[in-house]
Structure 1
């Protein structure tokens, strides 16, 4: 489970590493991440208004997004076939986690962006060495 203090410490460490880059590498780094960095408010909005797993697709977590989407489809099918309790149970199991993620959207996206920064920082450093 993500801890706020750990994610913030990693973010500060990455910021320090970015500050130490030469200007050309900084420019290259920011060019790489500009279009890939994610917004926590967009993640939360997708989670809140479109409870079909779109927020997972937003962070490129395809498998989790498909699991939520299929769980919803299966639940609707169960409900329409008259199996109300299995449909309710499936929805509760899947959406309890989704509801929890809504309140943790800030840290989830912050961690995703940290991973992006770490990967791109490595790429910028590697391309400078060549």
Structure 2
């Protein structure tokens, strides 16, 4: 997991690179990046919902999201079987992991947005 300080440093590095672009390329960069950037508050709201994994879909991490939902649903189903204790443990484990992601949502989305900005920047300078 990337730290908040590293994320901010990366964002500042990208800003300097973008400022150095010619006006037409800078305009193209901002036009494209506006479409793809994600909102940390939306990510946090999706994470806050009790259905584990929805926030992963928001960032396009389909496998991670499907894994989280599958484990959460398996734990929920197990609550109604003789394996109820295992179900509770699965739900607790997923909840702890999701709480960590909730508290780090700002840094997670900022790192994602930095990656998107870097990718778009590379595409713009190749044109």
Question: Which interval holds the TM-score relative to the shorter structure?
Answer: over 0.9
Aligned partner of residue 80 in structure 1, secondary structure: coil
Structure 1 match to 2:24:
24
The alpha carbon displacement at 1:82 in A equals: 3.3
Provide the TM-score with structure 2 as the length reference: 0.95
Alignment of 1:57-76 (within 5 A): 57-76=57-76
The alpha carbon displacement at 1:52 in A equals: 2.6
Structure 1 match to 2:84:
84
Structure 2 match to 1:123:
123
Provide the TM-score with structure 1 as the length reference: 0.93
Query: 1: distance between equivalents of 2:43 and 2:61?
Result: 12
Q: CA offsets, 1:90-124, max 9 Å, x none?
A: 11222211011101110000000000000000000
In the alignment, structure 2 segments of 5+ residues that lack a partner are none
Contact 2:71-2:90 at 8 Å conserved across structures = yes
In the alignment, structure 1 segments of 5+ residues that lack a partner are none
The alpha carbon displacement at 1:50 in A equals: 4.4
Alignment of 1:91-106 (within 5 A): 91-106=91-106
